Amino acid sequence: MKPRRSTRPADRSRSKVILVSLDKGERDVPVADLMDELEMLLENLGLAVQRKIVQSRETEDPATFVGKGKVDELKRVAIEEKAGLIVFDASLTPIQAKNLKERTGCGIWDRPWVIMEVFRRRARSSEAKLQVELARCRYEIPHLKGLGLQMSRTGAGIATRGPGETEFERHRRKVERRIRDIEEKLDGIRGRRENQRKRRVRSGLPIFSLVGYTNAGKSTLFKSLSGDPLVVSKDQLFTTLDTTVRSFRLPKRGTALLTDTVGFLRNLPPTLIAAFRATLEEVREADALIWVVDATTAENETMLLSVEETLRELGAWEMPRIIALNKTDLATPESIAQFTRKCVALGEKVVPISALEGLGLPQLLQELEKILLETKLSKEGER
């Protein structure tokens, strides 16, 4: 007799992914754009998207996010593609994740978990690693109840709180203790960083902070201006998760300081924003911001809005800034001119550059000096 084909998850590859989204017809960002961005995040994790599936419906199903028929389709497609992982471009509730895993036989990830996994793999310093772990712990607590029956068993004896305590309650207490431990360690690290920041301010040197959407080329510009060959700049998302400071030279003012920190992204998980908030808030210590925009995606207004919203949340939107329109060697002159005209009409200063090729950097440095002069004159006028 011919053996029946097994559909167990063990027979499928965890590196093969089915990507799923819900089109409610009301998103500011096209579903296709968000799915492409999520696919890029998955590629950064070494995962290959085999199929993209979109369901159009007004509201998500409270039990399975997509409808019952679509869940059956996902199971069938996963078997056909030999995919062991289904990723949803949304934030799933614990019960949705639990039901989807049971009904499809696949691993289930949502957008917040994908982003946190990218952060986890990019983290290098002890602070970044602790920040990512803190975000994952906060994410994990409400999802514990979705882990199955093993989380509802009761226990008794030494080190438990009586016969009525469940595995869920014990594990939650363990995670909460870990959160407190991480927060204490981060407080110590942030205290040392605060002292370093005060020393930079006392030095009297002008400080500029690089901000922008992830993979816009901030680290490449940071490396080009500072001349530090040890700075890592790669064509990948979230190369930088720590605040890095280097000196560089302005044509007339001489030495200045440049800071680079984590890039922004649409729909960043709230737990990550909370964990990295202290790091992100360092941009407010700068005299001016250098907003790095990728010229090849400059027409994507949702990316620009994402940066604007984040800067507003950090209280940094009203700070002096200049837009460094990067990667102009890869864009057309028409698109560069169009973007520049639009930004100038909104009162922004734009300098087209290519951080990789060194194009436009002398002009950028001149404009940075002008910003310092304008800021100085403005402050003197307020006295």
Residues in the chain: 383
Query: In this structure, which long-range contacts are made by residues 71-75, counting pairs with CB atoms below 8 Å and at least 24 apart in sequence?
Result: 71/100, 71/103, 71/104, 72/103, 74/18, 74/20, 74/100, 74/104, 74/106, 75/103, 75/104, 75/105, 75/106
CB distance 23 to 55 below 8 Å: yes
Question: Which domains, from first to last, does the chain contain?
Answer: 11-112 (3.40.50.11060), 123-183 (no CATH), 205-382 (3.40.50.300)
Query: In this structure, which long-range contacts are made by residues 306-310, counting pairs with CB atoms below 8 Å and at least 24 apart in sequence?
Result: 306/213, 306/264, 306/265, 306/266, 307/211, 307/212, 307/213, 307/264, 310/264, 310/268, 310/280
Q: Is the dihedral of CA 279, 284, 286, 289 positive or negative?
A: positive
Tokens of 27: 């998103």
Query: Residue 129: which H helix or E strand, with range?
Result: helix 126-140
pLDDT of residue 181: 94
Tokens of 252: 């007339």
pLDDT of residue 163: 45
Instruction: Provide the total of helices (H) and of strands (E) in the chain, helices listed first.
Output: 11, 12
pLDDT of residue 356: 92
Model-level pTM greater than 0.75?
Answer: yes
Encode the chain (383 residues) as per-residue pLDDT tens digits: 444 433 444 456 678 999 999 988 766 678 888 898 899 889 989 999 999 999 998 899 999 999 999 999 999 999 999 999 999 999 999 899 999 999 999 999 999 999 889 888 888 788 888 888 998 998 888 777 555 444 455 444 444 444 445 777 888 889 999 999 999 998 888 788 778 777 877 778 999 999 998 889 998 999 999 988 777 665 555 666 667 889 999 999 899 999 888 778 777 777 777 777 777 777 888 999 999 999 998 877 888 888 898 889 888 999 999 999 999 999 999 999 999 999 999 999 999 999 999 999 999 999 999 999 887 766 655 55
Give dist(CA 353, CA 12) in Å, integer: 46
